[in-house]
Amino acid sequence: MPVTDMPISIDLASDFEEKTDSERWCPYASIHFRNGVIYAASYSSETGLYEDISLQRYETSKWYNITTILDRTTLNFTVWIDNVQRGTGFQEHPNRLKMGPINSIVIMCYSGGEAFYDDIMVFRVQAQGSHGESGDISILGLKSVQVIYSDILIANKPTLVKVDFSNSFNRKITTRLKISYAEQSLTEMVELPSGVTSLFLPSNTWILFKNEGKYEITVNLDPENAVQETNENNNEVKLSVSVKESRPLKILYIPIEVGDDHYSKEQFENFIKESSEFIQDVYPVSSVITYNGWESKQKVTLWVPGI
C-alpha cells in the first residue's frame, strides 16, 4: 500500500464524529488499533475473509484524525491519517457498500474532484490508554434452535443460534462476529451493551444445513482481536449438532360445516395456506404437502361422542 504526503483538504473546523478505539467501525472501512499498530481490514472476495493491513504505529492517549474515501469506480477505499495517505486499494464487502448515506463531512480530494456525501467518512479515534479502562468480552453460551433449542436439527430447515455474551466494559462494545458451519461462514457486526446479553444470530439470514450428518457450529467474537481486552481466550465457542433428513409432512384438509358455520371455498383455501405455514414453522419438518378436500366435504360424516 503506497504512502504519500500529498495533503488532503479537510475542514478541521467541522465537527468530527468522535469514537473511542473500541467503537471505531465506519461504514466503508474497518480501522482498528492493536498492539501499537493502526490496521485497516481489507475484504478478499476469493477467501471471503478480512485481512489486516498495517498503516502506521500509534501512541496511546492521543487523538488521530482518520479519513476514509470510497472510489466508486473500483469500489476500493483509501485511508488518510492526520492528512497523510497511509494506504489505498482496500476492499470492502459488497453488502456493506449498499448502505445508505451517512452523516459525514464532505471534502475535496487532493485531486480536486468532488466527493459524494456517502463516499467519505471523517472521524477521530482516541488510542486506548487515555481512559485507563480495562475489560473483557466473552461468549457465555451457545444453543441452536429451529423449533426448540436442540442439537438435533432438520436438514433444509432455517436455523438460528442463540448466543449469550458478557461485556465487562462500562460502555457498549461494537465488534465483528463470525459464524462458521459446514464449510461456510457468515460475518456481521454486533453491539454488546455493558453486562450480559443474548442475541439470535445471524440477524439477516439463516443457517441452513442441506445434507444429513454431524456438523460443528463455531461462533467467534472479535475474530480480528480488534478489541483490546483482558482475556483473548474466551471469544470462541463450538457446538456439535446432528442433522437429520425429514420426509414431507402430508396433510389432507377436509372442511366440515357444523350448524350455521359456513365459509367459502376461498376462505377454506386461505385457511389451508396459513395453517400449513404455521405447521411447517413449529413442527420439525422441512416441508409440508397439502391436499384440498373441498370436493369431498359431502362424503364426510362428523361423529360426535354420545352422552
Q: How is residue 133 written as a grid cell?
A: 479502562
Q: Which CATH number fits domain 137-244: 3.30.360.10, 3.40.190.10, 2.60.40.10, 2.60.40.1180?
A: 2.60.40.10
d(CA 62, CA 122): 17
Q: Hey, where are the domains in the chain?
A: 17-126, 137-244, 249-299
Mean pLDDT value of segment 4-19: 38
Q: Please, what is the average pLDDT of the chain?
A: 74
Tally of CB atoms within 10 A around 294: 12
d(CA 169, CA 33): 17
Mean pLDDT value of segment 76-91: 81
Those residues with Cβ within 8 angstroms of residue 225's Cβ, 6 or more apart along the chain or in another chain: 34, 232
- Residue 179, pLDDT > 60, answer yes
pLDDT score at 146: 92
Buried b (16+ CB within 10 A) or exposed e, 47-77: eeebebbebbebeeeeebebbbbbeeeeebb
pLDDT score at 199: 95
- Residue 28, pLDDT > 50, answer no
The confidence band for 225, taking pLDDT boundaries of 50, 70 and 90, is confident
Residues 132-174 have pLDDT tens digits of 457 889 999 999 999 888 999 999 999 999 999 999 988 888 8
The confidence band for 33, taking pLDDT boundaries of 50, 70 and 90, is low
Mean pLDDT value of segment 92-100: 57
Higher pLDDT, 63 or 211: 211
The H or E element that residue 282 is part of is helix 265-282
Please state which of the ranges 185-189, 202-206, 227-231, 238-242 shows the lowest mean pLDDT.
227-231
List strand residue ranges (DSSP E) for the chain, in order: 17-20, 30-34, 37-44, 49-57, 63-71, 76-81, 84-91, 120-126, 137-145, 152-154, 160-167, 173-181, 184-192, 195-201, 213-221, 236-244, 249-253, 288-292
The confidence band for 30, taking pLDDT boundaries of 50, 70 and 90, is low
Higher pLDDT, 212 or 130: 212
Please report where in the chains the cell 376462505 appears, as a residue: 267
Name the phi and psi angles at 222, rounded to 5: 55, 60
**Has domain 249-299 been given CATH number 1.10.3280?**
no
- Residue 291, pLDDT > 70, answer yes
- Residue 290, pLDDT > 80, answer yes
pTM score: 0.54
Please state which of the ranges 90-99, 202-211, 255-264 shows the lowest mean pLDDT.
90-99
Please state which of the ranges 99-108, 164-173, 217-226, 231-240 shows the lowest mean pLDDT.
99-108
pLDDT score at 144: 95
Name the phi and psi angles at 97, rounded to 5: -75, -10
Q: Are strands 236-244 and 213-221 parallel, antiparallel or unpaired?
A: antiparallel
Residues 45-68 have pLDDT tens digits of 777 777 778 888 877 666 677 777
According to DSSP, residue 277 is labeled H
